[in-house]
Amino acid sequence: MGNAELVAMMLADGRLPTGGHTQSGGLEPAVRAGLGADGRQLADVAAYVRDRLRTTTRVEAAVAVLTRHMALALSGTKVAPGDKNVPESPEPVALVEAAWAARVPSHVVRGVSRRQGRLLLRLARRVWPGVSTYLPNDGEIARPVVLGVVGAVTGLSAEQVARTVAYDDAQTVISASLKLLPVDPADAATWLAGLHDDIERLVKDVAPLTRVDEIPADGAPLIDVFAHHHAIERMRLFHA
C-alpha cells in the first residue's frame, strides 16, 4: 500500500505517465481568447486557477471524495465515526460517475476526463491492483472517480484525496502557463503558493461529504466554451 503521504505526492506529480503533461486545464484556449495577452496581466493565470477551484475543480474533488467513501463502505472498512451512509446500490461507484456526468454539461470536458481516467486506471492496475475490485479493467471512467478509488485502496484520507485533486488542477494550469506565456518560473511558483488557502478551503468544504446528493453542481460555462473551441482548433500545444 505504501505511505499515504508519498502516494498523494506521487498522484499529484505532473510527471506521472497519465497524460497530465498534455493538459493545460483550459488555459491554452483562455490565452487564445486574451488571458495574459502580450504579457500583460499575467497574474490573471492565478485568478483563472482560483475560479476553477471554486467551480469545476470543486466538483471533481467532491466526486473523488465520494468515490473513496463508497469504495471503503463496499469493502467493509470503517469510515467516518457515526457515518451511516452505506451505499445500497450494488454499483455505488457507477452512481458517483453518473452524478459527475450530470454536473459536467460539456461532452468535450467529459471526454477529456474519461480519457485521463482510462490512463490513470491502466497505471493504477499495475501499481495498486486492488483498484480492480471496484472498477472495470478497461473503459473510460472519469478521472476523479479513479482517483477516489486509488485513494481508498492506498489509505488516503478524504482530505488527502481532495487536496490531491485541487493541487493537481492548480499545478497543471500554472505549469502550462510557462509554455504559453512569458512567465518567470519564480512568479509561477509564487502564484501556486498563493493558492494554498484557496485549496484548503476547498478541502474543508468537500472532505466531509458522504452522500451523492451532496456533490456540488458549480459550473463555469466559459471554461466549457473554451473547451469546445479548443477541441476543433487545428494548431494547439495541449490536448485540453
| Residue 237 counted as domain residue | no
| Residue 27 counted as domain residue | no
| Residue 124 counted as domain residue | yes
pLDDT tens figures, 122-147: 999 999 999 988 988 777 899 999 99
| Residue 35 counted as domain residue | no
pTM: 0.89
Total domains, the chain? 1
Say which DSSP state 16 is in: S
Domain residues for the domain of 50 are 4-14+42-231
Question: Do 23 and 116 touch, CB atoms closer than 8 A?
Answer: yes
| Residue 28 counted as domain residue | no
Give the sign of the dihedral formed by CA 84, CA 89, CA 93, CA 94: negative
| Residue 24 counted as domain residue | no
14-28, 113-127, 132-146 — most confident range:
113-127
Residue with cell 478497461: 138
- Residue 86 is predicted with a pLDDT of 42
| Residue 132 counted as domain residue | yes
| CATH number, domain with residue 179 | 1.10.4190.10
| Residue 31 counted as domain residue | no
Beta strands in the chain (DSSP E): none
pLDDT tens figures, 49-68: 999 999 999 999 999 999 99
Burial class of residue 92, CB neighbours in 10 A (0-12, 13-18, 19+): buried
